[in-house]
Structure 1
Amino acid sequence: MNILATLQRNIMIPEKYKQMSSEELEDRVIDLKKQLGSRLFIPGHHYQKDEVIQFADATGDSLKLAQLSAANTEAEFIVFCGVHFMAETADILTSENQKVVLPDMRAGCSMADMADIQQTERAWGKLQAIFGDTILPLTYVNSTAAIKAFVGANGGATVTSSNAETMVKWAFEKKERILFLPDQHLGRNTAADLDVGLDEMAIWNPINDSLEYEGDVSKIKVILWKGHCSVHENFTVQNVSDIRSQYPDMNIIVHLECRREIVELSDKAGSTSYIINAIEKAELGSAWAIGTEMNLVNRLIKNHPDKHIISLNPHMCPCLTMNRIDLPHLVWSLDTLEETNNIIKVSPEIAKNAKLALERMLTIS
């Protein structure tokens, strides 16, 4: 969802919720969860604040939470504590009699918003004019429903940071080239790990509708959409250098949404789940600098006092849009479930093709 559409649809939270104390808000959530029972399911993304995640019925990444929401057929209300594209995916996968609610409609994703459907359709036409019918589109699940639907309608599939390698291999079995949306870094890291040369990758710039590449375009195998995660973009080579200097024996583990040079300089790189599992399985007393969202890093620090854990970037802030979901908004959304506030509803046509892209991925991976 773009910023203008978000603002147009957003209904402001009543002032009374902002005036409630933390204790009052927490008690209200507890009471409402008891009243609603199995009619309510609250999925919470790993990057959510502790004040919210404490009430989640399940935690995980976006796709896992959407799948759990769909599997929980008793739940009439899915109050998704995450960002807009995640709630869209939940709506796509859940049944018609389930209502998906996002506690704050301003909780978007800057990465997802870096590829809108108009830009993508223009790019597709120009790329086909250059390369013909040799391209298969893939989109990260961190994308809008409209982009997922575009990919599904054009024979492609979604990918996660956990299965990206599998999906890129599959795509290359189908076509000579791939268009990877909207995160250039996940696309570049995945392709490079599959021995695609950096000189075989081009950038599509959606702002000026142009292909950024020097050389013979016939050599291009991967076209990377010029998008990124505003959180993971902030980890730098200097951050890595500082850790190596200050803590020579510390392990550095980063998310695959980080830039290529950060991944290459790190000891390990993977999805959010990969990072969590690596820390859980790490030896007692081991030391880790983690390159991912700060709410999760702080939670890992708290949950693993037996290990020395820090953020790779000491000045990193939590994801600002994720942090829009707070206790007041959670209580407000639970109080007004029978109303039409903040309901996420994907149109049937978009949902059909988006589900096709998701199902291709789930079948393959």
Structure 2
Amino acid sequence: MDYYRFWQILLDEISAAPKNADRRIVTFNDARQYAGALSEWRSLKAKTPGLRQVQVSPLIRAFFVPAAGAGKLLHTFEDALCIEEDARIQVHAVAPEKSGTSLMPWGVKAIHAPQAWSRSTGVHVKIGVIDTGADYRHPDLKHSLASGVNLLYRGMLPLDDNGHGTHIAGTLAAAGGTRGMMGVAPRALLYPVKAFDHNGSAYVSDIVLGIDWCVQNKIDIINMSFGMKTRSKALHDVVIKAYRAGIAIIASSGNDGKRGGDYPARYPETIAVGALDRRHRVAAFSNRGPYIDVYGPGEGVPSCWLKEGYKEMSGTSMATSHVTGAAALLLALRPGLSPRELKLLLRRTASPVRLRKGQRRAALGGGAADALRLLRAGARSKRATAAKA
């Protein structure tokens, strides 16, 4: 394969393409050809500034390139490449609702997190939050946030310019004490991975790079409160890589109020989350179905917001952060737990949800997350494993 020609075709398109042009995800059928292309790219980009715009995911051996250039590559190297659209993906929340907060939000209480804190507060568990960033000035988050990464503006802090990521962070690990809000796992450490812009929109390639970063930095759990309608091979490939690396991915199912749901929650390697209302029923907006592993509080959830404020929001996004927080409480006690074992424990310890008129329990999937039951079951399974050893 002529690697110089490969990059020359792309370079011609990079110089002609507008800054925000559509992109494609390019992977190689042969790992050796990827290695050759990567080596050539590294040697060329020092003297060819245009090639610095190309981004790379070592985890799935992919390049992210302008769409027009990808088309010409496929025409030239058809047998060697796999190319897919770098699709848009959205956060899973409805429009912000009313302002205000509660020192102990109803969702945190509903999953019995405060009763679990005598056993675990999530200490030392590293949570990757792939989202819009976080408000580093918020007093309830200042002890919970690590530096993370900004995939949109490399070298800058992943500062939130939307609010969604800050809201997720608050439910996960706010530690405001007696004067502020408390999240589910107040001593967990959050690593914001800013992949979404101020509109709550990202490309699949940004998510791939975010998961790649989490794997490289040995994150324990990844919270993914977003989704899209179509499958992506690149996204599934990187989810599988994280799963095999022992990292649990907890993903929101979507807010269409339908049977079925969005990706990545529908991939079997993730833990899929639906939303409950304040009456502990499946929320009207929540997607549902047998693939849902567990439900969390998702209606009118108060949490942290921009400019050191608070806001109530609804969505499977909010439900997912409750479940991720509960998982962090367990992983602090059981750090070696695999993603598969975590999923099984979450499903096994979930409480039955209340049914709406005409609903069948089997059609909903899993039950309601319960942090206290989760920790108790985790402790029992640990003792059982130790006894067998």
TM-score range, shorter chain: under 0.3
Could you tell me the TM-score, scaled by structure 2's length? 0.23
Select the structure that is richer in helix: 1
Q: Which has the higher contact order (CA 8 A, sep 6+)?
A: 1
Could you tell me the TM-score, scaled by structure 1's length? 0.24
